[in-house]
Structure 1
């Protein structure tokens, strides 16, 4: 998971709060939406973008908005985020139209921005990852067949290579509430970005943000947001997680059941805790490449660097552990596996298809050993290096843990005969 590269990314925040046509009531909170989101994305503690990377456009006319959005989209080659808040109108043919200050309600198909043009701007952008966020109502009137309308609108805003998030309110009252500073959906989004998500990683992905928004709005019986995935855009981090607790994160990867105060694993926990502060992170980077630490501990450090968003350092540290053909892909798999463990989704995932998980007898150390064996396998390290990583724990008084990791490795299906023989010999020696 990573944040956008400021140099090659663009966040485009567009909102229309004032309309010339009396048939389109003003939506005062929209301007607040845009300003608040801009302050978050530009804050070094959250999005860490500058004004050259994070653009705002408030109360523009249709012509100005169309050209400016297209220009900014073409400037991005890493991450592109486009946000729109305001009136959404439904054309005669069911097409979604985005209203601007000069939109004529009676001639909306000729004076509003067809979402197809916005799709084209995103599609033509050279950005590798694209996120589209729409917070708009459909002309301020209830839609009789909302399910069908949702499907129609979501189909229109789907763009290849893009993660799409929409508010999908039924009417103007669902879009915003009188006296509120922000619209309903954007207010919830701003709250999540500013306050973070407890128990989530150090970086907030758009997928985690969506799930939190869904729970919040559903609990208040408000219109539920919709999302459309594409590729791995859902893993993109929008901001740092303000609620991230480094101490709490220690438990996110299983620790040996026999760990005692003062041992190598507690020292590792302390190092990881300090690394949550940018000023202390270099110590974790250095330790992840120091052979004085057990290889398994260095792998954990590499994983934590990736979770903290320092992907270049994490890739370099992973490569230093052993000969890995595609370290960037291996790191991604390592983080994905860690996510499955922390979210308790591992036991229903495809990872288990190639492992024998029977007869663990509720032994926590045996279970830990199996998980570490699976995690080592995911790292892409060669078989002999993984075996040495397990055996190395004996030097630190972790003979039982070393044996359980080796036994866990033996549970992998499809091992070569020579590999099984090597494991058998090594298990007897520890």
Structure 2
């Protein structure tokens, strides 16, 4: 056909009038149908979508579509909305501004659509109606419509001058009543019909004769069976008046016609000499691996006959040969593991064997597991929203048999840390095409090595400050030991398999927040640089991990509130000490300012650790903040001259509260195991 192929999708799910219940599916259905109709590999329609518009906008788009058509054009119109029947029996399509008591002026009359159809020059028009039908009447009058909606009566056969047109409805007799101006039954969603339509076109299942094309009649038969299977109370109806067949889409389904084996090979397979038949099995096995699928399926048929009818020795050889062409996937199970609800993870199913074994179709057992064929592979996308464990099947069917691939996992509200397991043959990978963090991730390893390098450098500096133990304590070498311990722990956590995903990055980032301040001897600048660089590498490693994303949430429980109190108490102690230092001497103002900066950073870090999600990362971050707080309190206390007359009451508060924060963090980590 040389004409244009144009589709108009009208989806109304939101209504200004409270009497018309909102419909959830029209927006999603419109998007899915527009995608499949506009796919150049499937249907090649030029698609326009009109979503949640007023009646006059919809009427204008409908009239434009039909008025600007040529005889060879193929036109398709899809309505997904409420269908309303007036007291006089006229059918209307509801728009966003529709008022049930003023249908004539605020809705789109079916009679108007019929007139546009009749005036169009196109000889190939398809009208698809996926609507909830109900009686509409004056406000305040409690009436229930009693007759059927009789949707097809609004588009009577013979009313189009013999021109080709087809009307397919989701249902012709379901009615829902208004009580006053309220729709009494608002729980039905017009999604089953359009979902089946999209699935039939996308997967090619509507191609019943497997000739590579989806004809209009085949599409209706598929819709009827699919809708009835999903909802026995809904029966699609049709009125098709066309000369010849109208093909709406292409299909990847092609029935493979077996090519007859050569006459001499056929004779050898039936020869009385068993060794001749064995030789025929070898040649048939070679033909079974051919790129020419007709040749391969012809050989498979002969081998099947020999396996079923020949003597045991020949039958076993023939059966072994044809088993090489059986349908099989590289992995029989796809494990998604724990999946965050709404994340839409994806995985691929790859087939094995010769070409004839990979010429297959894929079908999902559940609607929330979407399967998209891609040559001899398939991508599966998980759209499950229900929390808890799930299990589904993907059936792979080919000319040499079928195989079943199990799909399993668990949907959770929030990602929990999971020990890294051996990789699956077909791993489940969340949607964005970025590689997750693995045991060989260079940024995770770099972060761990930088933290350990900082600790080693600190040890060298600490023991170079004095030649004796007394000098070690007098010269302040002991102040560096807490940072050595915490930096080493964070570095080791970054290198261990079970902690490098969340615990290691969280602890290293929390530690770097406080301990990497430019305060103290110039020798410590290198340590600060190591810790900051390690924290940056850790955050990059977290970013590269596709299995979770950092986010903020409410404090988890009383434990989080207690941690916030401890952080605030520590900050208050440091602020008190800063005020005392500044009051004591104006020359100490710079030192007091540093105390204030540490107090602000510790309070902000505590709040961030309590609010961060996932919980494992937040707890680890809180632990790093507590460790950094201990380091800074010790360092600032040592830096205070012995001659100072400052009371040091703030130091006691700060040290006590930061130790409480560390204890609370340890308890939270134990609780989250």
TM-score by length of 1: 0.52
Q: Would the aligned equivalents of 2:85 and 2:135 in 1 still touch at CA under 8 Å? A: no
The alpha carbon displacement at 1:239 in A equals 1.1
Q: Would the aligned equivalents of 2:5 and 2:44 in 1 still touch at CA under 8 Å? A: no
Give a deviation string over 1:168-219, Cα, whole Å, max 9, x none.
261469x9967x8x71211111111111225432110111011111112223
- Counterpart in the other structure of 2:15: 19
- Is 1:163 the counterpart of 2:173? The answer is no
- CA change 1:272–1:57 in 2 (3 A) is farther
The alpha carbon displacement at 1:262 in A equals 7.8
Give a deviation string over 1:309-343, Cα, whole Å, max 9, x none.
xxxxxxxxxxxxxxxxxxxxxxxxxxxxxxxxxxx
- Counterpart in the other structure of 1:287: none
User: For 1:237 and 1:262, how far apart are their aligned partners in 2?
Assistant: 39
- Counterpart in the other structure of 1:98: 93
User: For 1:231 and 1:105, how far apart are their aligned partners in 2?
Assistant: 35
User: For 2:191 and 2:263, how far apart are their aligned partners in 1?
Assistant: 51
Matches within 5 A, 1:364-379: none
- Counterpart in the other structure of 1:113: 108
- Counterpart in the other structure of 2:74: 79
User: For 1:15 and 1:176, how far apart are their aligned partners in 2?
Assistant: 17
1:230 aligns with one of 241, 246, 250: 241
Matches within 5 A, 1:299-318: none
Tell me the SS of whatever aligns to 2:232. coil
- Counterpart in the other structure of 1:336: none
- Counterpart in the other structure of 2:121: 126
- CA change 1:206–1:11 in 2 (3 A) is same
Q: Would the aligned equivalents of 1:87 and 1:140 in 2 still touch at CA under 8 Å? A: no
User: For 1:18 and 1:215, how far apart are their aligned partners in 2?
Assistant: 30
Gap runs ≥5 in structure 2: 137-143, 177-182, 265-286, 296-673
- Counterpart in the other structure of 2:546: none
Q: Would the aligned equivalents of 2:80 and 2:129 in 1 still touch at CA under 8 Å? A: yes
- Larger % of strand: which? 2
User: For 2:63 and 2:42, how far apart are their aligned partners in 1?
Assistant: 26
- CA change 1:140–1:262 in 2 (3 A) is farther
- CA change 1:73–1:216 in 2 (3 A) is same
The alpha carbon displacement at 1:18 in A equals 0.6
The alpha carbon displacement at 1:75 in A equals 2.3
- Counterpart in the other structure of 2:199: 191
- Counterpart in the other structure of 2:254: 245
Matches within 5 A, 1:322-401: none
- Counterpart in the other structure of 2:494: none
- CA change 1:176–1:24 in 2 (3 A) is closer
User: For 1:83 and 1:43, how far apart are their aligned partners in 2?
Assistant: 17
- CA change 1:222–1:270 in 2 (3 A) is farther
The alpha carbon displacement at 1:133 in A equals 0.8
User: Which one has a bigger Cα radius of gyration?
Assistant: 2
- Counterpart in the other structure of 1:34: 30
Tell me the SS of whatever aligns to 1:23. coil
Between 1 and 2, higher relative CO (CA 8 Å, sep ≥ 6) is seen in 1
- Is 1:70 the counterpart of 2:80? The answer is no
Matched residue pairs, number?
249
User: For 2:225 and 2:169, how far apart are their aligned partners in 1?
Assistant: 15
Superposed CA RMSD: 3.3
- Counterpart in the other structure of 1:261: 262
User: For 1:129 and 1:92, how far apart are their aligned partners in 2?
Assistant: 33
The alpha carbon displacement at 1:246 in A equals 4.3
- Counterpart in the other structure of 2:661: none
Give a deviation string over 1:21-70, Cα, whole Å, max 9, x none.
00001112011111111101111121123xxx221111110111111211
- CA change 1:15–1:262 in 2 (3 A) is farther
Tell me the SS of whatever aligns to 1:136. strand
Give a deviation string over 1:69-105, Cα, whole Å, max 9, x none.
1112222221111111100000121011011000111
User: For 1:130 and 1:164, how far apart are their aligned partners in 2?
Assistant: 9
User: For 1:140 and 1:216, how far apart are their aligned partners in 2?
Assistant: 27
Q: Would the aligned equivalents of 2:34 and 2:49 in 1 still touch at CA under 8 Å? A: yes
- CA change 1:209–1:166 in 2 (3 A) is same
- CA change 1:227–1:143 in 2 (3 A) is farther
1:144 aligns with one of 143, 146, 156: 146
2:40 aligns with one of 38, 44, 61: 44
- CA change 1:72–1:260 in 2 (3 A) is same
